[in-house]
């Protein structure tokens, strides 16, 4: 193989490859990134067998061929090179990388040993083209609510599914649930995408890319972001029927400015460390104030009152971390809070006529 390509494109492809390549596996070649000439392009790929990233970079091809070399060191080496043309050439399974006065030779592994890259039948798959801004927001609004508990694998992914003609994304860990309505759809979809895959897609999403293509087949999903494709297995299993848990009455009890509630929750959380994050949220119709209270018996106590539009009196205890996390992904200037009793789920939504985002937090017994 003998090719030349730009340092900028190579750096981006290698950054993704070096995050996915893994030295934990028994297969040393998974530690490596694959370079392979296909037509007038260089394919740069890495896989951990669950997840593969493939970038197709335009290059000047002098001689076709293929090789694999350790992903982390070539990524760091190329990332430190000045911008300009980088020449790659192989001699057996060693790769020499040259740019101006900078030369490195890396010992590699024959490309024959690299696993097959995943294939998706584009014609039979379900296909969405999403605006990058909506996609990023929807992922950010759901991914943090997913579980880390590997004994319940279905909850460790984001649930993409169709319902009443819309595509919804959902994340839950059993203590809170985030649901985001994304686009209209005529397809029937039910798929659970690992959070690690979605994190990788977010990292690959630069500001210059406006759209992301998403393709689902029976067992895989592919995200196409610019010249990079990230393909991953779906999580096996049946997602819980979460809709039966959604409260039917979501009349707002309080409407409050998001930034003020963030500040107040951060303050309340300081005093809630001893009590596993428990804070008490109260609404008072007469004064039109929302208050957050927390007590740390050793340290002291805290009470904050902020202006709000209050519909009824009430009080509920909840985990301050869960509240802070949802507040950080509500982009709206104000939000509504609803609950129907001390032990009823708490619903947080951006203020909007027909909110596309719903977040539910289970209350704590206070």
Tell me which residues touch its own copies (CB under 8 A).
Answer: 70, 73, 76-77, 80-82, 94, 101-107, 263-264, 266-267, 270-271, 289, 298-306
Between 105 and 129, whose beta carbon lies closer to its own copies?
105
Report the distance separating Cα 66 and Cα 2, nearest Å: 9
| In the complex, least distance from residue 96 CB atom to its own copies, rounded to whole angstroms | 9
Between 98 and 136, whose beta carbon lies closer to its own copies?
98
Between 160 and 271, whose beta carbon lies closer to its own copies?
271
Let me know how long the chain is.
Answer: 366
Report the distance separating Cα 292 and Cα 267, nearest Å: 9
Of 202, 198, 161, 166, the C-alpha closest to 182 is: 166
Report the distance separating Cα 27 and Cα 293, nearest Å: 54
| In the complex, least distance from residue 273 CB atom to its own copies, rounded to whole angstroms | 9
Report the distance separating Cα 254 and Cα 119, nearest Å: 50
Of 293, 292, 289, 284, the C-alpha closest to 307 is: 289
Residues 6+ apart with CB under 8 A from 298: 274
| In the complex, least distance from residue 268 CB atom to its own copies, rounded to whole angstroms | 10
| In the complex, least distance from residue 291 CB atom to its own copies, rounded to whole angstroms | 8
Hey, is 97 helix, strand or coil? Answer: strand
| In the complex, least distance from residue 72 CB atom to its own copies, rounded to whole angstroms | 9
Between 212 and 310, whose beta carbon lies closer to its own copies?
310
Residues 6+ apart with CB under 8 A from 293: 268, 279, 280, 282, 301, 302, 303, 304
Between 94 and 343, whose beta carbon lies closer to its own copies?
94
Between 106 and 117, whose beta carbon lies closer to its own copies?
106
Report the distance separating Cα 221 and Cα 272, nearest Å: 41
| In the complex, least distance from residue 63 CB atom to its own copies, rounded to whole angstroms | 21
């Amino acid at each position: 193989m003998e090719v030349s390509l730009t340092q900028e494109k190579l750096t981006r492809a290698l950054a993704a490859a070096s995050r996915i390549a893994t030295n934990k596996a028994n297969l040393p070649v998974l530690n490596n990134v694959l370079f392979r000439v296909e037509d007038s392009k260089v394919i740069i790929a890495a896989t951990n067998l669950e997840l593969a990233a493939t970038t197709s970079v335009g290059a000047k091809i002098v001689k076709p061929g293929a090789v694999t070399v350790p992903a982390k060191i070539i990524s760091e080496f190329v990332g430190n090179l000045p911008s300009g043309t980088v020449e790659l050439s192989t001699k057996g399974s060693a790769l020499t990388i040259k740019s101006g006065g900078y030369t490195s030779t890396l010992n590699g592994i024959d490309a024959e040993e690299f696993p097959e890259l995943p294939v998706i039948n584009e014609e039979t798959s379900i296909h969405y083209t999403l605006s990058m801004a909506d996609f990023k927001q929807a992922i950010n609004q759901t991914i943090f609510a997913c579980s880390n508990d590997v004994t319940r694998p279905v909850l460790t992914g984001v649930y993409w599914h169709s319902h009443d003609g819309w595509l919804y994304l959902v994340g839950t860990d059993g203590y809170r649930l985030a649901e985001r309505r994304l686009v209209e759809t005529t397809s029937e979809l039910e798929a659970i995408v690992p959070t690690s895959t979605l994190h990788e897609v977010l990292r690959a999403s630069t500001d210059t890319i406006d759209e992301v293509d998403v393709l689902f087949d029976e067992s895989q999903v592919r995200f196409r972001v610019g010249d990079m494709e990230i393909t991953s297995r779906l999580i096996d299993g049946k997602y819980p029927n979460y809709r039966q848990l959604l409260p039917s009455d979501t009349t707002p009890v309080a409407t409050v400015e998001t930034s003020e509630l963030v500040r107040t929750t951060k303050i309340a959380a300081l005093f809630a460390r001893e009590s596993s994050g428990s804070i008490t949220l109260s609404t008072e119709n007469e004064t039109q104030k929302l208050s957050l209270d927390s007590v740390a018996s050793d340290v002291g106590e805290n009470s904050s009152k902020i202006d709000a539009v209050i519909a009824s009196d009430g009080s509920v205890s909840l985990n301050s971390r869960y509240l802070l996390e949802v507040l950080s992904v509500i982009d709206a200037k104000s939000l509504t809070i609803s609950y129907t009793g001390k032990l009823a789920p708490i619903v947080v939504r951006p203020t909007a006529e027909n909110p596309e985002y719903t977040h539910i937090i289970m209350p704590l017994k206070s």
